[in-house]
Amino acid sequence: MNPTQDLSFLSLVLNASLLVQLVMLLLLGMSIASWTIIFKKGSVLRGVRNDTERFERDFWSGGDLNALLEASLRNKSSSAVLEHIFEAGMQEFMKLHEIDSARRAMKATYQREMDILEANLPFLASVGSVSPYIGLFGTVWGIMHAFRGLANVQNATLSAVAPGIAEALVATAIGLFAAIPAVVAYNRNATDVDRLAIRFETFIEEFTNILQRQGTGK
């Protein structure tokens, strides 16, 4: 083996066996997809938090609920989750004047909105859990390929097998590169979604109590 052989990252990738290259390509695609989700989900959750804080300030300022409903209906922002929940409950209560009906409407809207917020989180969890194993598979296969290549070599030395092993280990490195950000992002986003869910559920209970007091005239 030529001691001056290029062992740069690019060279190791280009000289890897076909299966290992396919594994690397798969991991790269998973990494790109997960980073796309990470940036998009982060932007969405920031918007939801900001809109939630704004609406809570407006709601608890003591203004007229009908005026607040009209303002909420004019706001078509997809991140105004709490407003959507309020709209569903308020409109249902105005039609039927039934607390249970308004509560069911808010719960249904809450569930739809939560499904949207939780979208793609399972993909991040999957990338975080399977990427290291996919990379390890590529590494094992690459090492096997490297050692098979020594079968016809009379003087097997470390310098002869090192490039093949290095090529194989790149797959593990790429697997970790894909997995670590996905795991961190999943844990952070899942925590943020859970916190928002608690705020939404708390609002539903509090707003239900307000509607109940209005219905009983207290």
What's the whole-number mean pLDDT along residues 82-101? 91
Residues of 55-75 as b/e, b for ≥16 C-beta within 10 angstroms?
beebbeeeeebeebbeebeee
pLDDT at 216 over 60: no
Q: Is residue 4 very low, low, confident or very high in pLDDT (cuts 50, 70, 90)?
A: very low
In a domain, 4, yes or no: no
In a domain, 151, yes or no: yes
In a domain, 181, yes or no: yes
Domain count, the chain: 1
The tens digit of pLDDT for each residue in 21-77 reads 888 899 999 999 999 999 999 999 999 999 999 999 999 988 888 899 988 888 877
Q: Report the amino acid identity of residue 156.
A: A
Q: Does 29 or 154 have the greater pLDDT score?
A: 29
Q: What is the pLDDT of residue 156?
A: 57
Answer for the pair 85, 206: CB distance below 8 angstroms, yes or no: no
In a domain, 107, yes or no: yes
Q: Is residue 97 very low, low, confident or very high in pLDDT (cuts 50, 70, 90)?
A: confident
Q: How many CA atoms lie within 13 A of 217 on its CB side?
A: 0
What's the whole-number mean pLDDT along residues 83-98? 91
In a domain, 3, yes or no: no
Joined tokens for residue 24: 């690397």
Backbone dihedral region for residue 120 (phi beyond 0: left; psi -120 to 50: alpha; all else: beta) = left
In a domain, 198, yes or no: yes
pTM attached to this predicted model: 0.82
Alpha-carbon gap, residue 209 to 218, rounded angstroms: 11
Residue 121 sits in which domain range?
Answer: 9-216
